[in-house]
Amino acid sequence: MSTASWVMAAMIRSAGGLLTIGDCHAAMGDGEVTASAVECAVDATFRATIEERFTVRRPVVATATEVMTTGEGATMEAATNMAVQGMADLLVDTLGIDDTEAAMLLACAADVRTGLAGNPPYTMRVAVPKSVLRW
C-alpha cells in the first residue's frame, strides 16, 4: 500500500466547477512513452481547500521535497515552454521577485522532466526543491 502524499493546486475557472481524478497507475515509467501503463483501481482520500499564497495560473503539484508545474502542447518544446512559464510565474508570485530573477533561479534550480512522451499532446513538468519557494 502506498502512502505517498502530494498536493495539487489548480485554478477554478467557474463557480461550481467539478474535480475529476482518474487514470491511476500501479506502475509507469517516467514519460509514459507508450501512452500506456499498468492501470489499477485506487482508494484515495482527497481534500479541497482555497489556496491564498499565490495565484494559480497552471496546475501546481507539491510533493514532500519539490514543487512542480506542468505544461502540455503539440510539441515537447511547446509543453516545456508552458511548464517553465508556469514555474516562473509561481516564483514571481511567491517570492516577490521579477521575471529576470525568476529566470536566473530557474537556470540554477529547475529540472525539466517528461510527463507524456508517447504521443501528442505532450506533457512536461518543471520541478524545483521546496526550499527554493520557502515552503
Rounded to the nearest integer, the mean pLDDT of the chain is: 85
In a domain, 66, yes or no: yes
Per-residue pLDDT tens over the stretch 4-17: 666 776 766 667 77
Q: In this predicted structure, what is the pLDDT of residue 24?
A: 78
What span, in angstroms and rounded, lies between the C-alpha atoms of 123 and 114?
7
Asked whether 50 and 67 are in contact (CB, 8 A), the reply is no
101 has pLDDT over 80: yes
pLDDT of residue 102: 97
Whether 13 is in a domain gets the answer: no
Q: CA of 40: how far to CAs of 23, 37, 103, 105, in Å?
A: 8, 9, 39, 38
Instruction: Assign residue 50 the CATH number of its domain.
Output: 3.10.28.20
Beta carbons within 10 angstroms of residue 86's beta carbon = 21
User: Average pLDDT of 98-125?
Assistant: 93
Residue 1 is predicted with a pLDDT of: 41
Classify residue 113: in a domain, yes or no. yes
**Does some domain include residue 7?**
no
Phi, then psi, of 100 in degrees rounded to 5: -65, -45
Residues 12-67: tens digit of each pLDDT: 666 777 777 777 778 877 777 777 788 888 887 877 777 777 777 788 888 889 99
Q: 9 lies in a domain? A: no
Tens of pLDDT, residue by residue over 68-92, are 999 999 999 999 999 999 999 999 9
CA distances from 118 to 32, 79, 82 (A): 6, 13, 18
User: Residue 50's domain spans which residues?
Assistant: 18-133
pLDDT of res. 45: 80
pLDDT grade for 123, boundaries at 50, 70 and 90: very high
Instruction: Tell me, yes or no, whether 121 lies in a domain.
Output: yes
pLDDT over 60 (residue 113): yes
Question: How many structural domains is the chain composed of?
Answer: 1
